[in-house]
Structure 1
Amino acid sequence: MQSKSYSYPLNPAWSTTEIETVVAMLRAVEDAYEVGINRQVLLRRYRAFKKIVNSKAEEKQIGREFEKESGYVLYRVVKAAQETSAKKIKMAGE
């Protein structure tokens, strides 16, 4: 399990609500690696995240920064959720 002593990549221009939405998505990624998360919850958080981070470039940048800080890969979690019909997403340790 990773240390929780890292920061989330956030845009200072975002509102408090937008920051909460982005953090909820990044926490869902953490959960997918650490304990598993309901696939529908994850996809719902991703859809909300995409309303704030609507460009692919910005999503990739946030994903890279988050992976550098935490070791968790946003893209892999979302891809796994989109490609499976399982109820729970649990990423294997890498």
Structure 2
Amino acid sequence: MEYNYPLRYDWSTDEMIQVVSFFEAVEKAYESSVERNQLMDAYRNFKKVVPSMAEEKTLFKEFEQVSGYGSYPVVKAAKAGKDGDRIQGVQR
């Protein structure tokens, strides 16, 4: 994909990597599939960087605007799933 991930320049390199890893997992859910546990681990790491719900919503919206992929439906599907499930074919 040819777009920029929504990042904040006051984040450390490690924090940026955590956020990008989460958004890459979201992409996988749309483009093929991603293991639920992998997605939830990426989301937990994302939440360490972005603990605020308001900032999370802002970043989700920014990511959807540039990619077309909604993060919320993917996270919702993962939370509803069980260990060992794969998240795939999420409806936009």
Q: Identify the TM-score tier after normalising by the shorter chain.
A: over 0.9
Identity of aligned residues (%): 46
Q: Residues 7-52 of structure 1: CA distance to partner in whole angstroms, max 9, x if unpaired?
A: 1000000000000000000000000100100000000110010000
1:21 to 2:18 alignment: yes
How far apart, in 2, do the equivalents of 1:62 and 1:46 lie? Answer: 13
- Match runs of 1:46-85 below 5 Å: 46-85=43-82
- 1:37 match: secondary structure: strand
Q: Which runs of 5+ in 1 are unaligned?
A: none
Q: Distance in 2 between matches of 1:35 and 1:12?
A: 30
Give the number of aligned pairs: 91
TM-score by length of 2: 0.94
When the two chains are superposed, the root-mean-square deviation of aligned CA atoms in Å is 1.1
Structure 1: 4+ residue segments shifted above 4 A: none
- What residue ranges of structure 2 are gaps of 5+ in the alignment? none
SS at match of 2:61: helix
Q: How far apart, CA to CA, are the structure 1 residues paired with 2:91 and 2:81?
A: 18
